[in-house]
Amino acid sequence: MGRSEELFEEARRFIPGGVNSPVRAFKAVGGIPRFIARAQGARVWDVDGREYIDYVASWGPMILGHAYPRVVQAVRERTERGTSYGAPTALEVELARTIVEALPSVEMVRMVNSGTEAVMSAIRLARAFTGRDKVLKFEGCYHGHADGLLVKAGSGATTLGVPLSSGVPASYAELTLLAPFNDLEAVQRVMAEHRGEVACVIVEPVAGNMGVVLPEDGFLQGLREICDQEDVLLIFDEVITGFRVGWSGAQGLYGVMPDLTCLGKIIGGGLPVGAFGGRREIMELLAPSGPVYQAGTLSGNPLACAAGLETLRILREEAPYEELEERTSYLCSEIHKVAEEVGVEVTVNQIGSMFTGFFAEGPIRDYASAMGSDLELHRRFFWAMLRRGVYLPPSQFEAAFLSTAHGPEEMERTLSAVKEGLREISGGLR
Protein backbone atom coordinates (compact mmCIF):
# COMPACT_ATOMS: atom_id res chain seq x y z
CA MET A 1 0.00 0.00 0.00
CA GLY A 2 1.36 3.46 -0.92
CA ARG A 3 1.48 6.45 1.38
CA SER A 4 -1.52 8.09 -0.38
CA GLU A 5 -3.61 4.98 0.35
CA GLU A 6 -2.52 5.00 3.99
CA LEU A 7 -3.24 8.69 4.38
CA PHE A 8 -6.63 8.40 2.68
CA GLU A 9 -7.59 5.59 5.01
CA GLU A 10 -6.58 7.65 8.01
CA ALA A 11 -8.16 10.82 6.60
CA ARG A 12 -11.53 9.10 6.28
CA ARG A 13 -11.51 8.44 10.01
CA PHE A 14 -11.21 12.12 10.83
CA ILE A 15 -12.45 14.10 7.82
CA PRO A 16 -15.80 13.41 6.08
CA GLY A 17 -14.95 11.52 2.90
CA GLY A 18 -11.29 12.04 3.70
CA VAL A 19 -11.12 15.43 1.99
CA ASN A 20 -11.87 19.07 2.71
CA SER A 21 -13.55 19.67 -0.66
CA PRO A 22 -15.49 16.89 -2.39
CA VAL A 23 -14.07 17.10 -5.90
CA ARG A 24 -10.63 16.14 -4.56
CA ALA A 25 -11.83 12.71 -3.50
CA PHE A 26 -11.51 11.19 -7.01
CA LYS A 27 -15.07 9.82 -6.70
CA ALA A 28 -15.83 10.51 -10.36
CA VAL A 29 -12.77 8.61 -11.53
CA GLY A 30 -12.55 6.02 -8.76
CA GLY A 31 -9.45 5.06 -6.87
CA ILE A 32 -7.40 6.87 -4.29
CA PRO A 33 -6.68 10.62 -4.48
CA ARG A 34 -3.04 11.52 -4.58
CA PHE A 35 -1.88 13.26 -1.41
CA ILE A 36 0.47 16.01 -2.49
CA ALA A 37 3.75 16.61 -0.71
CA ARG A 38 5.11 19.58 -2.66
CA ALA A 39 4.87 21.56 -5.86
CA GLN A 40 7.19 23.65 -7.98
CA GLY A 41 6.51 25.34 -11.31
CA ALA A 42 4.29 23.12 -13.45
CA ARG A 43 4.99 20.01 -11.33
CA VAL A 44 3.53 18.44 -8.22
CA TRP A 45 4.94 15.49 -6.28
CA ASP A 46 2.82 13.10 -4.27
CA VAL A 47 3.71 11.64 -0.89
CA ASP A 48 5.08 8.54 -2.62
CA GLY A 49 7.56 10.70 -4.52
CA ARG A 50 5.80 10.43 -7.92
CA GLU A 51 6.08 13.50 -10.12
CA TYR A 52 3.20 14.87 -12.21
CA ILE A 53 2.74 17.70 -14.67
CA ASP A 54 -0.09 19.57 -13.03
CA TYR A 55 -3.15 20.82 -14.93
CA VAL A 56 -5.32 21.25 -11.82
CA ALA A 57 -3.32 24.30 -10.70
CA SER A 58 -5.18 24.32 -7.38
CA TRP A 59 -8.36 24.68 -9.51
CA GLY A 60 -7.14 27.86 -11.15
CA PRO A 61 -5.09 30.17 -8.94
CA MET A 62 -1.59 29.01 -9.93
CA ILE A 63 -1.28 30.90 -13.20
CA LEU A 64 2.43 31.50 -12.56
CA GLY A 65 3.03 27.89 -11.55
CA HIS A 66 3.70 26.70 -8.03
CA ALA A 67 6.05 28.38 -5.55
CA TYR A 68 6.91 31.23 -7.90
CA PRO A 69 9.96 32.79 -6.25
CA ARG A 70 8.72 36.39 -6.07
CA VAL A 71 5.37 35.31 -4.65
CA VAL A 72 7.06 33.06 -2.09
CA GLN A 73 9.35 35.93 -1.12
CA ALA A 74 6.42 38.35 -0.74
CA VAL A 75 4.62 35.94 1.58
CA ARG A 76 7.79 35.20 3.54
CA GLU A 77 8.49 38.89 4.11
CA ARG A 78 4.93 39.56 5.12
CA THR A 79 4.83 36.59 7.53
CA GLU A 80 7.70 38.07 9.47
CA ARG A 81 5.62 41.19 10.06
CA GLY A 82 2.71 39.24 11.60
CA THR A 83 0.07 37.19 9.84
CA SER A 84 -3.20 38.93 10.75
CA TYR A 85 -4.14 42.14 12.51
CA GLY A 86 -7.89 42.52 12.09
CA ALA A 87 -7.16 46.09 11.10
CA PRO A 88 -6.72 47.80 7.72
CA THR A 89 -3.38 47.67 5.86
CA ALA A 90 -1.79 49.58 2.98
CA LEU A 91 -1.56 46.28 1.14
CA GLU A 92 -5.33 45.97 0.88
CA VAL A 93 -5.58 49.44 -0.58
CA GLU A 94 -3.00 48.61 -3.23
CA LEU A 95 -4.67 45.32 -4.10
CA ALA A 96 -8.07 47.04 -4.36
CA ARG A 97 -6.57 49.77 -6.58
CA THR A 98 -4.94 47.16 -8.83
CA ILE A 99 -8.23 45.27 -9.23
CA VAL A 100 -10.13 48.48 -9.97
CA GLU A 101 -7.53 49.52 -12.57
CA ALA A 102 -7.67 46.13 -14.26
CA LEU A 103 -11.42 45.47 -14.40
CA PRO A 104 -13.33 48.07 -16.38
CA SER A 105 -16.64 47.67 -14.54
CA VAL A 106 -15.26 47.70 -11.00
CA GLU A 107 -15.11 51.02 -9.13
CA MET A 108 -14.87 49.66 -5.60
CA VAL A 109 -13.98 46.29 -4.19
CA ARG A 110 -14.32 44.42 -0.92
CA MET A 111 -12.01 41.53 0.00
CA VAL A 112 -13.39 38.31 1.50
CA ASN A 113 -11.93 34.84 2.03
CA SER A 114 -13.37 32.68 -0.73
CA GLY A 115 -15.34 32.76 -3.94
CA THR A 116 -18.35 31.39 -2.09
CA GLU A 117 -18.31 34.34 0.27
CA ALA A 118 -17.85 36.79 -2.59
CA VAL A 119 -20.92 35.51 -4.43
CA MET A 120 -23.04 35.25 -1.29
CA SER A 121 -22.26 38.86 -0.42
CA ALA A 122 -22.71 40.17 -3.98
CA ILE A 123 -26.18 38.61 -4.09
CA ARG A 124 -27.13 40.16 -0.77
CA LEU A 125 -26.03 43.49 -2.16
CA ALA A 126 -28.04 43.00 -5.36
CA ARG A 127 -31.11 42.17 -3.31
CA ALA A 128 -30.67 45.25 -1.19
CA PHE A 129 -30.06 47.51 -4.20
CA THR A 130 -33.09 46.29 -6.16
CA GLY A 131 -35.41 45.47 -3.25
CA ARG A 132 -36.14 42.10 -4.89
CA ASP A 133 -35.37 38.53 -3.82
CA LYS A 134 -35.05 36.22 -6.82
CA VAL A 135 -31.83 35.26 -8.52
CA LEU A 136 -31.49 33.82 -12.01
CA LYS A 137 -28.59 31.43 -12.49
CA PHE A 138 -27.60 29.08 -15.30
CA GLU A 139 -27.72 25.30 -15.25
CA GLY A 140 -24.25 23.88 -14.69
CA CYS A 141 -22.75 27.15 -13.47
CA TYR A 142 -21.25 26.89 -10.02
CA HIS A 143 -21.06 29.86 -7.70
CA GLY A 144 -19.77 28.27 -4.52
CA HIS A 145 -21.71 26.38 -1.91
CA ALA A 146 -24.02 29.04 -0.46
CA ASP A 147 -27.63 27.91 0.10
CA GLY A 148 -29.80 28.80 -2.82
CA LEU A 149 -26.99 28.58 -5.38
CA LEU A 150 -26.68 24.81 -5.12
CA VAL A 151 -29.45 24.41 -7.64
CA LYS A 152 -28.36 22.59 -10.81
CA ALA A 153 -24.87 23.58 -9.73
CA GLY A 154 -21.81 22.40 -11.62
CA SER A 155 -18.35 21.48 -10.29
CA GLY A 156 -18.22 18.99 -7.40
CA ALA A 157 -22.00 19.11 -7.02
CA THR A 158 -22.51 17.76 -10.54
CA THR A 159 -19.51 15.46 -10.29
CA LEU A 160 -21.01 13.78 -7.25
CA GLY A 161 -24.56 13.83 -8.58
CA VAL A 162 -25.91 16.28 -5.98
CA PRO A 163 -26.59 19.39 -8.10
CA LEU A 164 -29.35 20.20 -5.60
CA SER A 165 -27.76 19.74 -2.20
CA SER A 166 -29.59 18.15 0.64
CA GLY A 167 -29.95 20.60 3.54
CA VAL A 168 -30.94 23.57 1.38
CA PRO A 169 -34.41 24.70 2.51
CA ALA A 170 -36.95 24.52 -0.32
CA SER A 171 -37.89 28.12 0.44
CA TYR A 172 -34.30 29.20 -0.40
CA ALA A 173 -34.12 27.12 -3.56
CA GLU A 174 -37.44 28.63 -4.68
CA LEU A 175 -35.76 32.00 -4.92
CA THR A 176 -33.35 30.62 -7.52
CA LEU A 177 -34.58 30.63 -11.11
CA LEU A 178 -32.83 28.63 -13.81
CA ALA A 179 -32.09 28.93 -17.49
CA PRO A 180 -29.83 26.94 -19.79
CA PHE A 181 -26.44 28.58 -20.51
CA ASN A 182 -26.35 30.26 -23.96
CA ASP A 183 -30.15 30.43 -24.16
CA LEU A 184 -31.35 34.04 -24.24
CA GLU A 185 -34.91 33.09 -25.12
CA ALA A 186 -35.17 31.05 -21.94
CA VAL A 187 -33.82 34.01 -19.95
CA GLN A 188 -36.46 36.27 -21.50
CA ARG A 189 -39.17 33.75 -20.72
CA VAL A 190 -38.12 33.43 -17.06
CA MET A 191 -37.86 37.20 -16.73
CA ALA A 192 -41.35 37.64 -18.15
CA GLU A 193 -42.77 35.05 -15.74
CA HIS A 194 -41.13 36.75 -12.75
CA ARG A 195 -41.28 40.40 -13.82
CA GLY A 196 -40.44 42.74 -10.97
CA GLU A 197 -39.19 39.91 -8.71
CA VAL A 198 -35.66 39.30 -9.96
CA ALA A 199 -32.75 41.03 -8.21
CA CYS A 200 -29.94 39.73 -10.37
CA VAL A 201 -28.74 37.43 -13.07
CA ILE A 202 -25.53 35.69 -12.09
CA VAL A 203 -23.37 33.96 -14.67
CA GLU A 204 -19.88 32.60 -15.16
CA PRO A 205 -19.16 34.59 -18.33
CA VAL A 206 -17.15 31.60 -19.46
CA ALA A 207 -18.50 28.57 -17.66
CA GLY A 208 -15.70 26.63 -16.01
CA ASN A 209 -17.61 24.35 -13.70
CA MET A 210 -19.42 22.09 -16.17
CA GLY A 211 -16.11 21.84 -17.94
CA VAL A 212 -15.22 24.87 -20.05
CA VAL A 213 -18.21 26.15 -22.01
CA LEU A 214 -17.85 29.36 -23.99
CA PRO A 215 -20.53 32.02 -24.31
CA GLU A 216 -21.85 32.08 -27.87
CA ASP A 217 -21.76 35.32 -29.87
CA GLY A 218 -24.18 37.81 -28.37
CA PHE A 219 -25.02 35.78 -25.26
CA LEU A 220 -23.33 38.04 -22.69
CA GLN A 221 -24.37 41.16 -24.59
CA GLY A 222 -27.94 39.83 -24.66
CA LEU A 223 -27.87 39.25 -20.90
CA ARG A 224 -26.70 42.83 -20.41
CA GLU A 225 -29.58 44.14 -22.54
CA ILE A 226 -32.21 42.01 -20.80
CA CYS A 227 -30.93 43.09 -17.38
CA ASP A 228 -31.09 46.75 -18.44
CA GLN A 229 -34.65 46.35 -19.76
CA GLU A 230 -35.78 44.62 -16.56
CA ASP A 231 -33.80 46.81 -14.11
CA VAL A 232 -32.00 43.73 -12.90
CA LEU A 233 -28.34 43.63 -11.87
CA LEU A 234 -25.92 41.53 -13.88
CA ILE A 235 -23.29 39.70 -11.81
CA PHE A 236 -20.28 38.11 -13.47
CA ASP A 237 -18.74 35.33 -11.43
CA GLU A 238 -15.13 35.76 -12.55
CA VAL A 239 -13.70 33.65 -9.74
CA ILE A 240 -12.10 31.45 -12.40
CA THR A 241 -11.86 33.82 -15.39
CA GLY A 242 -10.63 36.89 -13.49
CA PHE A 243 -6.96 37.52 -14.43
CA ARG A 244 -7.04 34.09 -16.14
CA VAL A 245 -8.53 34.74 -19.60
CA GLY A 246 -6.84 38.13 -19.74
CA TRP A 247 -5.77 41.05 -17.56
CA SER A 248 -9.31 42.49 -17.68
CA GLY A 249 -11.05 39.16 -17.21
CA ALA A 250 -13.91 37.92 -19.36
CA GLN A 251 -15.59 41.33 -19.14
CA GLY A 252 -12.62 42.93 -20.89
CA LEU A 253 -12.34 40.12 -23.41
CA TYR A 254 -16.01 40.19 -24.43
CA GLY A 255 -16.56 43.89 -23.84
CA VAL A 256 -19.62 43.37 -21.64
CA MET A 257 -19.78 45.22 -18.33
CA PRO A 258 -21.55 43.62 -15.38
CA ASP A 259 -22.85 45.61 -12.41
CA LEU A 260 -21.01 43.42 -9.92
CA THR A 261 -18.05 41.07 -10.30
CA CYS A 262 -16.98 38.21 -8.04
CA LEU A 263 -13.34 37.22 -7.84
CA GLY A 264 -11.16 34.66 -6.10
CA LYS A 265 -8.37 32.23 -7.00
CA ILE A 266 -5.66 34.22 -8.88
CA ILE A 267 -6.09 37.39 -6.80
CA GLY A 268 -4.92 35.36 -3.79
CA GLY A 269 -1.87 33.91 -5.53
CA GLY A 270 -2.71 30.50 -4.06
CA LEU A 271 -3.81 31.66 -0.61
CA PRO A 272 -7.46 31.65 0.48
CA VAL A 273 -9.18 34.73 -0.90
CA GLY A 274 -12.23 36.19 -2.57
CA ALA A 275 -13.47 39.64 -3.51
CA PHE A 276 -16.48 41.32 -5.01
CA GLY A 277 -16.71 44.71 -6.59
CA GLY A 278 -18.66 46.88 -8.94
CA ARG A 279 -20.37 50.20 -9.40
CA ARG A 280 -19.76 52.70 -6.61
CA GLU A 281 -23.46 53.41 -5.97
CA ILE A 282 -24.07 49.70 -5.33
CA MET A 283 -20.89 49.01 -3.37
CA GLU A 284 -21.50 51.95 -1.06
CA LEU A 285 -24.55 50.16 0.31
CA LEU A 286 -22.13 47.92 2.19
CA ALA A 287 -21.55 48.42 5.91
CA PRO A 288 -20.08 50.58 7.31
CA SER A 289 -21.02 53.01 4.49
CA GLY A 290 -24.50 51.54 4.11
CA PRO A 291 -27.03 49.11 5.57
CA VAL A 292 -25.90 45.81 3.96
CA TYR A 293 -23.94 43.89 6.55
CA GLN A 294 -20.89 41.92 5.51
CA ALA A 295 -17.76 41.23 7.56
CA GLY A 296 -14.82 38.88 8.17
CA THR A 297 -12.03 38.52 10.75
CA LEU A 298 -9.50 37.44 8.13
CA SER A 299 -10.84 39.51 5.20
CA GLY A 300 -7.96 41.29 3.47
CA ASN A 301 -5.53 39.04 5.29
CA PRO A 302 -1.99 40.37 4.75
CA LEU A 303 -0.54 37.06 3.56
CA ALA A 304 -3.29 36.50 1.01
CA CYS A 305 -3.08 40.10 -0.14
CA ALA A 306 0.73 39.93 -0.43
CA ALA A 307 0.59 36.74 -2.52
CA GLY A 308 -2.25 38.09 -4.66
CA LEU A 309 -0.73 41.51 -5.20
CA GLU A 310 2.66 40.10 -6.17
CA THR A 311 0.95 37.70 -8.60
CA LEU A 312 -0.96 40.59 -10.20
CA ARG A 313 2.19 42.72 -10.42
CA ILE A 314 3.96 39.94 -12.28
CA LEU A 315 0.99 39.43 -14.60
CA ARG A 316 0.91 43.16 -15.34
CA GLU A 317 4.65 43.38 -15.95
CA GLU A 318 4.96 40.24 -18.02
CA ALA A 319 1.60 40.21 -19.83
CA PRO A 320 1.85 36.44 -20.46
CA TYR A 321 -1.67 36.02 -21.81
CA GLU A 322 -0.93 35.75 -25.53
CA GLU A 323 1.77 33.19 -25.06
CA LEU A 324 -0.33 31.19 -22.60
CA GLU A 325 -3.18 31.15 -25.09
CA GLU A 326 -0.89 30.05 -27.94
CA ARG A 327 0.50 27.15 -25.94
CA THR A 328 -2.93 26.07 -24.78
CA SER A 329 -4.36 26.27 -28.30
CA TYR A 330 -1.48 24.15 -29.59
CA LEU A 331 -2.06 21.55 -26.87
CA CYS A 332 -5.80 21.48 -27.55
CA SER A 333 -5.45 21.19 -31.30
CA GLU A 334 -2.98 18.32 -30.88
CA ILE A 335 -5.35 16.54 -28.47
CA HIS A 336 -8.10 16.94 -31.03
CA LYS A 337 -5.87 15.62 -33.82
CA VAL A 338 -4.75 12.54 -31.87
CA ALA A 339 -8.33 11.81 -30.79
CA GLU A 340 -9.39 11.83 -34.45
CA GLU A 341 -6.51 9.57 -35.44
CA VAL A 342 -7.37 6.96 -32.82
CA GLY A 343 -11.11 7.31 -33.33
CA VAL A 344 -12.10 8.61 -29.89
CA GLU A 345 -14.79 11.28 -29.89
CA VAL A 346 -13.37 14.31 -28.03
CA THR A 347 -14.63 17.90 -28.14
CA VAL A 348 -12.10 20.36 -26.78
CA ASN A 349 -13.43 23.69 -25.49
CA GLN A 350 -10.75 26.27 -24.76
CA ILE A 351 -10.25 29.91 -23.99
CA GLY A 352 -6.92 31.42 -23.00
CA SER A 353 -5.15 29.00 -20.71
CA MET A 354 -8.21 26.99 -19.62
CA PHE A 355 -9.69 24.01 -21.43
CA THR A 356 -11.77 20.86 -21.15
CA GLY A 357 -11.70 17.81 -23.38
CA PHE A 358 -15.21 16.38 -23.32
CA PHE A 359 -15.66 12.77 -24.35
CA ALA A 360 -18.62 13.70 -26.50
CA GLU A 361 -19.40 14.54 -30.09
CA GLY A 362 -20.14 18.19 -29.38
CA PRO A 363 -20.72 20.99 -29.69
CA ILE A 364 -20.72 21.40 -25.91
CA ARG A 365 -22.64 24.61 -25.37
CA ASP A 366 -24.60 24.04 -22.16
CA TYR A 367 -25.16 21.73 -19.21
CA ALA A 368 -27.25 19.21 -21.15
CA SER A 369 -24.61 18.73 -23.82
CA ALA A 370 -21.81 18.54 -21.21
CA MET A 371 -23.80 15.91 -19.33
CA GLY A 372 -23.92 13.80 -22.49
CA SER A 373 -20.18 13.07 -22.15
CA ASP A 374 -18.95 9.51 -21.86
CA LEU A 375 -17.85 9.46 -18.21
CA GLU A 376 -16.41 5.96 -18.41
CA LEU A 377 -14.05 7.03 -21.20
CA HIS A 378 -13.15 10.11 -19.19
CA ARG A 379 -12.39 7.96 -16.16
CA ARG A 380 -10.13 5.65 -18.15
CA PHE A 381 -8.34 8.56 -19.81
CA PHE A 382 -7.78 10.29 -16.47
CA TRP A 383 -6.01 7.20 -15.11
CA ALA A 384 -4.09 6.60 -18.33
CA MET A 385 -2.72 10.14 -17.99
CA LEU A 386 -2.03 9.94 -14.26
CA ARG A 387 -0.06 6.73 -14.73
CA ARG A 388 2.01 8.62 -17.30
CA GLY A 389 2.69 11.51 -14.93
CA VAL A 390 0.03 14.00 -16.05
CA TYR A 391 -2.39 15.21 -13.40
CA LEU A 392 -5.70 16.33 -14.94
CA PRO A 393 -8.81 17.40 -13.00
CA PRO A 394 -10.43 14.23 -11.64
CA SER A 395 -13.81 15.17 -13.11
CA GLN A 396 -15.23 15.68 -16.60
CA PHE A 397 -16.97 18.79 -15.30
CA GLU A 398 -13.95 20.90 -14.45
CA ALA A 399 -11.45 23.05 -16.31
CA ALA A 400 -7.78 22.19 -16.80
CA PHE A 401 -5.31 25.09 -16.52
CA LEU A 402 -1.90 25.91 -17.92
CA SER A 403 0.56 28.15 -16.13
CA THR A 404 3.47 30.19 -17.38
CA ALA A 405 5.66 27.34 -16.10
CA HIS A 406 4.21 24.91 -18.66
CA GLY A 407 7.02 25.12 -21.20
CA PRO A 408 8.04 23.06 -24.25
CA GLU A 409 9.25 20.11 -22.16
CA GLU A 410 5.95 19.87 -20.29
CA MET A 411 4.02 20.20 -23.59
CA GLU A 412 6.03 17.42 -25.18
CA ARG A 413 5.63 15.06 -22.23
CA THR A 414 1.93 15.83 -22.00
CA LEU A 415 1.34 15.22 -25.69
CA SER A 416 3.18 11.96 -25.67
CA ALA A 417 1.05 10.88 -22.68
CA VAL A 418 -2.09 12.02 -24.53
CA LYS A 419 -1.13 9.95 -27.58
CA GLU A 420 -0.52 6.82 -25.55
CA GLY A 421 -3.45 7.47 -23.24
CA LEU A 422 -6.00 7.98 -26.01
CA ARG A 423 -4.70 4.94 -27.86
CA GLU A 424 -4.97 2.92 -24.68
CA ILE A 425 -8.56 3.87 -24.01
CA SER A 426 -9.51 3.32 -27.65
CA GLY A 427 -8.33 -0.27 -27.21
CA GLY A 428 -5.08 0.13 -29.19
CA LEU A 429 -2.57 -0.50 -26.43
CA ARG A 430 -4.42 -2.64 -24.00
Smallest separation, CB 62 to ligand HOZ (Å): 13
Smallest separation, CB 112 to ligand HOZ (Å): 15
Q: Which is nearer to ligand HOZ, 240 or 315 (CB)?
A: 240
Choosing from 52, 55, 68, 142, which is the catalytic residue? 142
217 annotated active-site: no
134 annotated active-site: no
Smallest separation, CB 98 to ligand HOZ (Å): 23
Chain contacts with ligand HOZ (rule: CB under 6 A): 21, 23, 59, 142, 155-156, 209, 398
Nearest to ligand HOZ by Cβ — which residue? 21
265 annotated active-site: yes
Smallest separation, CB 80 to ligand HOZ (Å): 30
Q: Which is nearer to ligand HOZ, 282 or 304 (CB)?
A: 304
Smallest separation, CB 296 to ligand HOZ (Å): 19
Choosing from 46, 54, 183, 237, which is the catalytic residue? 237
What's the chain look like in SS3? Answer: CCHHHHHHHHHHHHCHHHCCCHHHHCCCCCCCCCCEEEEEECEEEECCCCEEEECCHHHCCCCCCECCHHHHHHHHHHHCCCCCCCCCCHHHHHHHHHHHHHCCCCCEEEEECCHHHHHHHHHHHHHHHHCCCEEEEECCCCCCCCCCCCCCCCHHHHHCCCCCCCCCCHHHHCCEEEECCCCHHHHHHHHHHCCCCEEEEEECCCECCCCCECCCCCHHHHHHHHHHHHCCEEEEECCCCCCCCCCCHHHHHHCCCCCEEEEEHHHHCCCCCEEEEECHHHHCCECCCCCECCCCCCCCCHHHHHHHHHHHHHHHHHCCHHHHHHHHHHHHHHHHHHHHHHCCCCEEEEECCEEEEECCCCCCCCHHHHHCCCHHHHHHHHHHHHHCCEECCCCCCCCEECCCCCCHHHHHHHHHHHHHHHHHHCCCCC
Q: Which is nearer to ligand HOZ, 118 or 256 (CB)?
A: 118
Choosing from 265, 366, 367, 391, which is the catalytic residue? 265
Q: Which is nearer to ligand HOZ, 160 or 184 (CB)?
A: 160
Q: Which is nearer to ligand HOZ, 159 or 426 (CB)?
A: 159
The catalytic site residues sit at 142, 237, 265
